[in-house]
Copies of this chain bind each other. A is one copy, B any other.
Amino acid sequence: MFSSSRHAPGTAPATLVARAGAEPPVVTLIEYDAEGIEERQVGSIEEVFVCRDNGKVSWINIDGLGDVELLRKLGAHFRLHPLALEDVLNTSHRPKMEEHADHCFLITRMASVSDEGEVTFEQVSMFLGHTFLITIQHLPGDVFEQVRQRLRAGRGFARTRGHDYLAYALLDALVDHFFPVLEKIGEDVEELEDLLLESPSPECVARLHEIKRSLLQLRRAAWPEREVIAALNRDESGLIAAETKVFLRDCYDHTVSIMDVIESYRDVTAGMMDLYLSSVSNRTNEVMRVLTVIASIFIPLTFMAGVYGMNFDPDASPWSMPELRARYGYPITLAAMLLVGLGMLFLFRKKRWI
């Protein structure tokens, strides 16, 4: 549930081990400046090493963590810290930002939601240097496609700024993709609310439990994400230009909004169990009341019928049920029964039980 796929306890620190089932890496290199953009998939990791000094913005993206050797070469060339590389291989590390000598290392989380409302996360690691931006993802498919399209089209200031702005654009895309997830959860919450009031069932409670858990997971992802962006904003190493920081502040505002919405949903869902319980207890009460009324009315009547079903013989003794032979014994008895029944009905209606 919340378990992370970590290396076995006791493993030497900074040991790089591929996870079981990790996919073979696909390396893509995008290089651009205001003039133009070049985009290609490289066969061997050494091909990207040349990009360091050509004055262009170089974005190296790696999909899949199946090749530890590739990471080791990458780390050696770009002087990435071995512990950072170990964290890259960890599929569910807490988002964090670490400053190193000439680059900074970010771990972030990409949220997505299925149509059933299940929230999944993918870890995205970034190394932002003065002459490179490396992003490493576990699985193919990401939320960066629109950034790539903006780069290709060259709209806005997309291609006129440096690696820091590219990193911001990617972070912004990651953060923005929390909103559709929250919207889906918001819809689920509203739907569930109606369901709870109309036809409460234990399935609702299980669903509510799942939503709460999704919110927990989102909070667990969004909270440190916020810290990551705040840390980038405070960065004084010169990696982040002042004009990019204005944008990062905007991005930070979005993470604050995300936390805000998550907390609001948590508060709302906290109250929904009450809705359910009151809804259920109301239904039980309705059932109970009907039983009470029916039983309370007929039990005395059945007793009366039982009395006149006793076999005391009027012939044997003048005290033995002479009413059985009375001319109007039967109709009077029936009338008495009717009276008792109506009386109780009246009483119950007065007490508002029916």
Residues of A that sit less than 8 Å from B by CB: 1-4, 6, 9-15, 81, 83, 87, 93-94, 96, 98, 143, 145-147, 150, 155-156, 158, 169, 172-173, 176-177, 179-180, 182-183, 186, 189-190, 193, 197, 201-202, 205-206, 208-209, 212-213, 216-217, 220, 246-247, 249-250, 253, 256-257, 260-261, 264-265, 267-268, 271-285, 287-292, 294-296, 298-303, 305-313, 316-317, 319-321, 324-331, 333-334, 337, 353
Whole-angstrom distance between the Cβ of A347 and the nearest chain B Cβ = 9
In the complex, what residue of chain B is closest to A148 when comparing beta carbons?
Answer: B10
Whole-angstrom distance between the Cβ of A265 and the nearest chain B Cβ = 7
In the complex, what residue of chain B is closest to A15 when comparing beta carbons?
Answer: B156
Query: Of B98, B156, B179, B337, which contacts A9 at CB under 8 A?
Result: B179
A3 to B268, CA, bound (A): 13
A253 to B246, CA, bound (A): 29
A268 to B269, CA, bound (A): 13
Q: A1-B264, A3-B186 are in contact. List 19 more A-B contacts (CB 8 A).
A: A2-B264, A4-B179, A4-B257, A10-B143, A10-B145, A12-B156, A13-B250, A81-B246, A197-B206, A201-B282, A273-B274, A277-B278, A280-B285, A287-B292, A287-B353, A298-B299, A302-B303, A308-B311, A317-B330
Query: Of B212, B264, B280, B310, which contacts A281 at CB under 8 A?
Result: B280
In the complex, what residue of chain B is closest to A144 when comparing beta carbons?
Answer: B10
Query: Of B10, B182, B276, B300, which contacts A278 at CB under 8 A?
Result: B276
A1 to B216, CA, bound (A): 19
Is the Cβ of B94 less than 8 Å from the Cβ of A260? yes
A278 to B275, CA, bound (A): 12
A272 to B213, CA, bound (A): 11
Whole-angstrom distance between the Cβ of A138 and the nearest chain B Cβ = 18
Whole-angstrom distance between the Cβ of A272 and the nearest chain B Cβ = 8
Query: Of B15, B189, B300, B324, which contacts A316 at CB under 8 A?
Result: B324
A204 to B329, CA, bound (A): 51
Is the Cβ of A282 less than 8 Å from the Cβ of B9? no
Is the Cβ of A264 less than 8 Å from the Cβ of B220? yes
Closest 6 pairs between A and B when the two form their complex, measured CB to CB: A10-B146, A305-B306, A9-B176, A316-B325, A308-B310, A309-B309
A1 to B249, CA, bound (A): 26
A254 to B326, CA, bound (A): 85
Query: Of B4, B267, B277, B319, which contacts A330 at CB under 8 A?
Result: B319
| Chain B hits for A324, CB < 8 A | 311-313, 316, 320
Query: Of B143, B265, B298, which contacts A303 at CB under 8 A?
Result: B298
Asked, given contacts A209-B274, A271-B212, A288-B288, whether A202 binds B282 with beta carbons under 8 Å apart, the answer is: yes
Residue from the set A98, A158, A205 with the largest chain B CB neighbour count within 10 Å? A205
Residue from the set A193, A305, A331 with the largest chain B CB neighbour count within 10 Å? A305
| Chain B hits for A306, CB < 8 A | 301-302, 305-306, 309
In the complex, what residue of chain B is closest to A1 when comparing beta carbons?
Answer: B186
Pairs across A and B, CB under 8 Å, 23 listed: A2-B260, A3-B179, A10-B173, A11-B146, A11-B176, A15-B156, A87-B250, A93-B253, A93-B257, A202-B278, A202-B282, A208-B274, A216-B264, A217-B264, A280-B281, A287-B289, A287-B353, A299-B299, A301-B303, A306-B309, A309-B311, A312-B330, A313-B325
